[in-house]
Amino acid sequence: MGQIVLENVVKKFGDTEVIPPLNLTIEEGEFAVFVGPSGCGKSTLLRLIAGLEDTTAGKVLIDGEDVTEVPPSKRGLAMVFQSYALYPHMTVRKNIAFPMRMAGMSQAEQDEKIEAAAKSLNLTDYLDRKPGQLSGGQRQRVAIGRAIVREPSAFLFDEPLSNLDAALRVGMRLEISEMHKRLKTTMIYVTHDQVEAMTMADRIVVLQGGVIEQVGTPLELYHTPRNKFVAGFIGSPKMNLLEGAEAKKHKAHTIGIRPEHIKVSTKSVKGAWKGTVGVAEHLGSDTFIHIHGVEGCDPMTVRAAGDVAVKHGDTVYLSPDKSQIHKFDDAGLRI
Amino acid sequence: MAIVAQNSKFGIFGRPILAWVVAMVFFFPIFWLVFTSFKTDADAVKPEFLFFFTPTLDNYLNMTENYDYWRFATNSVITSVLATAVALFVGIPAAYAMAFNPARHTKDILMWMLSTKMLPAAAVLYPMTFLAKGAGIFDTHFVIVLVLALINLPIVVWMLFTYFKEIPKDIIEAGQMDGVNTWGEIKEILIPLAWGGIASTALLCFIFCWNEAYWTVRLTTTDAATLSKLIEGNRAPEGLFFGRLSAVSAAAVGPIVVLGWFCQKQLVQGLTFGAVK
Ligand SMILES: Nc1ncnc2c1ncn2[C@@H]1O[C@H](COP(=O)(O)OP(=O)(O)OP(=O)(O)O)[C@@H](O)[C@H]1O
Ligand SMILES: [Mg+2]
């Protein structure tokens, strides 16, 4: 249960085509992440799957069944919204019970599931509160609780963590990942945070302007980005892209090298790129050094050890790991 | 500028006084009506008893035999309650659809609905009368309920629409994802969330229905005649009985004033359901 297929799905708002014909298959039990810049159509795509938006053309299939014309309430999917979208007039208990009550489940069964969900989400003490009396993290837990009790064939998350602070976000990220391992239910997760994408996904779908740029496992995207956009989008800090003479040497229009694949040295090294240190960001474990003056890429970011001794204005020599250089042609595609 | 005005003498004393004066101007006719209702018909027209007179309850005690007050009052209650119910029954789904599933012309439809309120009622007086008579529903509760519900529908839909608009769309969509059908959504989510708004809409609609005089006077004779008809009908022949007339008029507007007074708090309360971002 839980395979989702999009067949030539098109979405237009008025005359603007937000999603051009798009094909995608999300396998049963998979944790798929839609990632891309703001406005690229991630939410729209998720809402098309949910049935909250009508498709302009094409088909949506769930477990092989065409649900294009089926209303959201009958698709058997659960969704967690960025705004949590809890029912403000109901207690936490009633919120979680709501989908079960709508499905006509017996009271005893409801109570049992509420207890179990509340326990696993640390909500037991809050069951009789209204959403307005909860913190953001607790509200998000309630939203997740409401989604799991009905045992959907797939979970849809639309940036569920973006209203939470950084620490809470990391915690919830783990909880959701663990939930996926435990339930083994298909999950589609929308985010614009590529760290969330990399850490949680079985497969990442990178979108830009409604078009799928690449689909693959996090490591596939990291090691073999299909084009310049994916190369720049996946990885943190971003991949350095160089054009011009340096790229020509590799018979490419553009070459890319990730910050972690560059060695930095204060002594002159043969064949190395020479530059001047701008800002060095010390994170403790690592140092991100932003270097000016390298031809074709300014600034160039390098990831060095936490205790590297460089300061603003130092001259440094950069040697890229030759085996880690990505090459792109003038259309931006990987060579 | 505003701060200066608030701290000036005018700000401290002038404004409250002004407010009281305005309130008095609005309140005076009602006050005078009630005041007069405690005078005998004879006293009511005598200048020497303008302020000082022996109050009497006779006008109220004799209201039933003088005017058959309760029959008219019952009709007013029946028609106003039913018309409000009908208007809400039609208005809630309509406003719901327009607020949460707007189509290309939703705004136009809303404007058009409101524009019907600008049509002078007199323009359709004859068609309406002929229709009512032709259909054999003249002077029935049915026609009054129908007309009252229809003339208030635009306002009802508009008010509900603005209240519904305040409900985050996500919550409605969450309901859909949780497996609720359209009626369930209205019943389980929309109505509880917009309860305050629906109550104030209902109250306002009820007041409008109760106060409506143009159609209730013209489309009834006796069977379905409301309090408006009662007062209007006694204008000429009993013009001299100021005391009685004041009493019955006070009794006609009284329920509405009392209702509005009691609902004030509850309405405000209804609008402040647990704020959730
Ligand atoms: N109801 C709508 N009417 C018209 N245009 C819309 C509507 N909803 C979305 N769009 C447009 O569709 C495009 C994709 O929107 P969408 O919300 O899917 O982006 P997103 O990838 O989720 O962005 P974000 O990361 O900011 O949430 C945007 O350009 C947006 O302006
Ligand atoms: Mg979005």
Q: Identify the band that residue B267 occupies on the pLDDT scale cut at 50, 70 and 90.
A: low
Residues of chain A with CATH 2.40.50.140: 259-328
Q: How far apart are the first and last CA of chain A?
A: 39
pLDDT tens, B64-105? 887 888 999 999 999 999 999 999 999 999 999 999 998 889
Ligand 1 atom closest to residue A36's alpha carbon, by position in its atom list: 21
Using left for φ > 0, alpha for ψ between -120 and 50, and beta otherwise, residue A75 falls in alpha
Which residues, 6 or more positions from B22, have their beta carbon under 8 angstroms from its beta carbon? Answer: none
Decide if B196 contacts B271 (C-beta within 8 A): yes
The helix or strand, by DSSP H or E, that contains position A94, with its residue range, turns out to be helix A92-102
pLDDT score at B131 = 94
Which residues, 6 or more positions from B99, have their beta carbon under 8 angstroms from its beta carbon? Answer: B161, B164, B165, B167
Determine the Cα–Cα distance for residues B180 and A150; give it in Å rounded to an integer: 13
Interface contact B179-A83, CB threshold 8 A: no
Determine the Cα–Cα distance for residues A181 and B186; give it in Å rounded to an integer: 37
pLDDT tens, A202-227? 999 999 999 999 999 999 999 999 99
The interface predicted TM-score of the complex, written ipTM, equals 0.88
Determine the Cα–Cα distance for residues B208 and B202; give it in Å rounded to an integer: 10
Angle between helices B141-165 and B69-100 (to 10 degrees): 40
Mutational test site, ligand 1, from A11, A15, A19, A43, max ligand atoms within 8 Å of CB = A43
> Does the pLDDT of residue B277 top 80, yes or no?
no
CATH of A259-328, one of 1.20.1260.10, 3.30.70.141, 2.40.50.140, 3.40.1640.10: 2.40.50.140
pLDDT tens, B221-230? 889 999 988 8
Residues of B in contact with A99 (CB under 8 A): 178-179
Residues of B in contact with A159 (CB under 8 A): none
Longest dimension (CA), chain B: 74
Q: What order of strands is seen across the sheet that includes strand A326-328?
A: A240-243, A254-257, A326-328
State whether residue A190 is helix, strand or coil. Answer: strand
Cα-based torsion angle of the residue sequence B231, B233, B238, B243 in order, rounded to the nearest 10 degrees: -10
> Does the pLDDT of residue B275 top 70, yes or no?
no
pLDDT tens, B237-248? 555 678 888 888
A104 touches chain B (CB under 8 A): no
> Does the pLDDT of residue B273 top 70, yes or no?
no
Q: Identify the band that residue B6 occupies on the pLDDT scale cut at 50, 70 and 90.
A: low
In 3D space, the residue among B188, B189, B143 whose CA is nearest the CA of residue B167 turns out to be B189
Query: What is the Å distance from ligand 2's center to A85 Cα?
Result: 15
Which residues, 6 or more positions from B41, have their beta carbon under 8 angstroms from its beta carbon? Answer: B240, B241, B242, B243, B244
Tell me which residue has its CA closest to atom 2 in ligand 1: A13
**Which residues form the pocket of ligand 1, taking CB atoms under 6 Å from any ligand atom?**
A 13, 18, 36, 38-44, 192
In angstroms, what CA-CA distances link B144 with A127, A275, B3? 49, 88, 52
Taking CA–CA distances from B194, the nearest residue in chain A reads A89
pLDDT score at A269 = 85
State whether residue A331 is helix, strand or coil. Answer: coil
In 3D space, the residue among A285, A284, A318 whose CA is nearest the CA of residue A301 turns out to be A318
In 3D space, the residue among A252, A147, A167, A234 whose CA is nearest the CA of residue A197 turns out to be A234
CATH class of the domain whose range is B69-233: mainly alpha
A70 touches chain B (CB under 8 A): no
Q: Which ligand is nearest to the CA of A19?
A: 1
- The CATH T-level fold of domain A4-230 is Rossmann fold (3.40.50)
Among B168, B180, B193, whose Cβ lies nearest the Cβ of A89?
B193
pLDDT tens, B99-156? 999 888 999 999 999 898 888 988 889 999 999 999 999 999 999 999 999 999 999 9
Chain centroid offset of residue B34 CA:
20
Determine the Cα–Cα distance for residues B231 and A36; give it in Å rounded to an integer: 70
A85 touches chain B (CB under 8 A): yes
For chain A, residues with pLDDT lower than 70 are: none
Interface contact B179-A77, CB threshold 8 A: no
Ligand 1 atom closest to residue A45's alpha carbon, by position in its atom list: 18
